[in-house]
């Protein structure tokens, strides 16, 4: 079992490095290696050489090894959570660092256990045809800084299960957690099957254009996703892109405001709002608007925020100064427009760390930048509506469509509304929850391709039709 210190020692750079600082305190967490394009090329070459033997093991043996890797992950979960909390900023408790490590283990085990049977599509007097899936080869995985360990596993697990090898490029903001994760997994996996390369945009651009890489999995901004599409085009790579979101929630007038307040809060503020599929715009019917705002304000004001390693906190800092500035700008814009800040909105700019208080903004117009732009932080605008068709139109009125939610005491009515919302997922009376067997993906400019479950496994293989 590793300690925090031994995890950092195992990934300590031998060459050029840069400091990684705790976003809550400004203290040094560790030093990250600065890998080069040549380092990436070497990792891809090793992965290409290792892939045939890994594929030849077959699904059962690969799954057995993956379960042993999950055991190693569980054995080292606390040290990884401590590192994650310091590097990313999220608290240990609540739906945060320890939760993330538990989810990573669950997704790894589920990918190992999910069957993908040969599908017979025709079997009659006209003939016999079936679909099976072959490995792609080498998969490039580019991850974000908000859920660095969990999302890395979302990319790694199905790729390995399908017989691919994987080269991971973590975010420049959170490389240590991902490199430590890979080091733990590699205590079980065969050499060359999984590698991490910590580099800058040049390394990422090379990964997305590398002729040996057969598929790119990317979670991050829509702008970066578009750049990956362009750079991958010449080699016709397969892509799974989970891009930006600006998720809407619609609250119907038949709900109990007090009963839904905590669900609304966590839908919006999980990981201090730094989640692609978090609730980012809330539309509430005029009949219950004031009550919903009051109950949500009370819940928000009671949630403790602070340094992640304090066991009492459930909200942490924003991970980096650039994200703090985005949230700050959008809330200040809302204030200037006459919107009403019910709680929060007043960061202490003299304290260490990128802390922005959990903020509820009421009496705000739908065209306000805080509503129309993805804030990706702890500031939720609550917009009043009187006609349901107007709320649906406003929910659909942005160019992204990752997730949405409908809140109602009438499940059939909620599903009717959900069917009119253009997004990859619509939750009923909750927001943002994911399950390893339920496919997840976006619509519009939130990307394409599905992750999780059987569909997620298929996305990491090349379909082959056997006809005859």
242 tagged catalytic:
yes
Helix runs in 305-367, H state only: 321-337
**Residues, the chain, total?**
468
Confirm if 222 and 244 have CB atoms less than 8 A apart.
yes
Number of Cβ within 10 Å of residue 14's Cβ equals 6
d(CA 11, CA 14): 9
Catalytic residue chosen out of the listed positions 100, 276, 295, 374: 276
**Helices 58-75, 97-113: inter-axial angle, 10-degree rounding:** 160
Catalytic residue chosen out of the listed positions 242, 295, 374, 451: 242
User: Which of 286, 198, 283 is closest to 249 using CA atoms?
Assistant: 283
Beta carbons within 8 Å of 168's beta carbon, 6+ residues apart: 141, 142, 143, 152, 155, 156, 178, 182, 194, 195, 196, 197
d(CA 307, CA 92): 9
Provide, for the chain, the percentages of residues in helix, strand and coil under a 3-state DSSP scheme, each rounded to the nearest 5.
40, 20, 35
Give me the half-sphere count of Cα atoms (radius 13 Å) on the Cβ side of residue 255. Answer: 28
d(CA 15, CA 225): 30
d(CA 160, CA 67): 12
Confirm if 142 and 169 have CB atoms less than 8 A apart.
yes
Q: Rounded to 5 degrees, what are φ and ψ at 247?
A: -65, 135
Confirm if 452 and 156 have CB atoms less than 8 A apart.
no
* Per-residue tokens: 400: 């992204």
* Per-residue tokens: 431: 């927001």
202 tagged catalytic:
no
- Active-site positions read 242, 276
């Amino acid at each position: 079992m590793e300690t925090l210190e031994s995890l950092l020692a195992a990934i300590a750079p031998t060459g050029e490095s840069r400091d990684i600082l705790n976003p809550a305190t400004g203290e040094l967490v560790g030093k990250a290696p600065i890998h080069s394009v040549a380092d990436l090329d070497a990792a891809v070459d090793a992965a290409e050489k290792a892939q045939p033997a890994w594929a030849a093991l077959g699904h059962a043996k690969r799954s057995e090894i993956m379960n042993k890797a999950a055991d190693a992950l569980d054995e080292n979960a606390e040290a990884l959570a401590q590192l994650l909390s310091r590097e990313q900023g999220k608290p240990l408790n609540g739906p945060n660092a320890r939760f993330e490590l538990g989810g990573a283990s669950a997704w790894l085990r589920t990918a190992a256990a999910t069957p993908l049977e040969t599908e017979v599509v025709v079997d009659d007097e006209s003939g016999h045809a079936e679909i099976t899936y072959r490995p792609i080869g080498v998969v490039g995985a580019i991850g974000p800084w908000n859920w660095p360990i969990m999302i890395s596993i979302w990319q790694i697990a199905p790729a390995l299960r399908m017989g691919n090898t994987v080269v991971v490029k973590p975010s420049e903001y959170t490389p240590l957690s991902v490199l430590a994760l890979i080091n733990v997994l590699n205590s079980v996996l065969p050499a060359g099957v999984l590698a991490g390369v910590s580099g800058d945009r040049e390394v990422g651009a090379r990964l997305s254009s590398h002729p040996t890489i057969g598929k790119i999995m990317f979670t991050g901004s829509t702008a970066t996703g578009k750049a990956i599409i362009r750079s991958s085009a010449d080699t016709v790579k397969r892509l799974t892109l989970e891009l930006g979101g600006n998720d809407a929630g619609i609250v119907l007038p038949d709900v109990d405001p007090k009963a839904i307040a905590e669900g609304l809060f966590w839908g919006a503020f999980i990981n201090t709002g730094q989640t692609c599929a978090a609730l980012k715009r809330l539309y509430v019917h005029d009949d219950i608007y004031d009550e919903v705002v009051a109950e949500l304000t009370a819940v928000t004001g009671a949630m403790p925020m602070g340094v992640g390693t304090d066991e009492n906190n459930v909200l942490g800092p924003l991970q980096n100064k650039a994200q703090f500035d985005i949230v700050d700008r959008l809330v200040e814009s809302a204030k200037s427009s006459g919107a009403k800040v019910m709680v929060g909105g007043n960061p202490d700019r003299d304290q260490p760390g990128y802390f922005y208080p959990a903020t509820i903004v009421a009496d705000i117009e739908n065209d306000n930048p805080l509503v129309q732009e993805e804030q990706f932080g702890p500031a939720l605008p609550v917009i009043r509506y009187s006609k349901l068709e107007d709320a649906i139109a406003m929910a659909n009125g942005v160019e992204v469509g990752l997730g949405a939610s409908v809140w109602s005491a009438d499940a059939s009515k909620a599903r009717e509304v959900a069917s009119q919302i253009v997004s990859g997922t619509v939750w009923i009376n909750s927001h943002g929850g994911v399950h390893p067997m339920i496919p997840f993906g976006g619509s519009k400019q939130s990307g394409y391709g599905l992750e999780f479950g059987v569909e997620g496994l298929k996305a990491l293989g090349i379909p082959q039709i056997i006809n005859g």
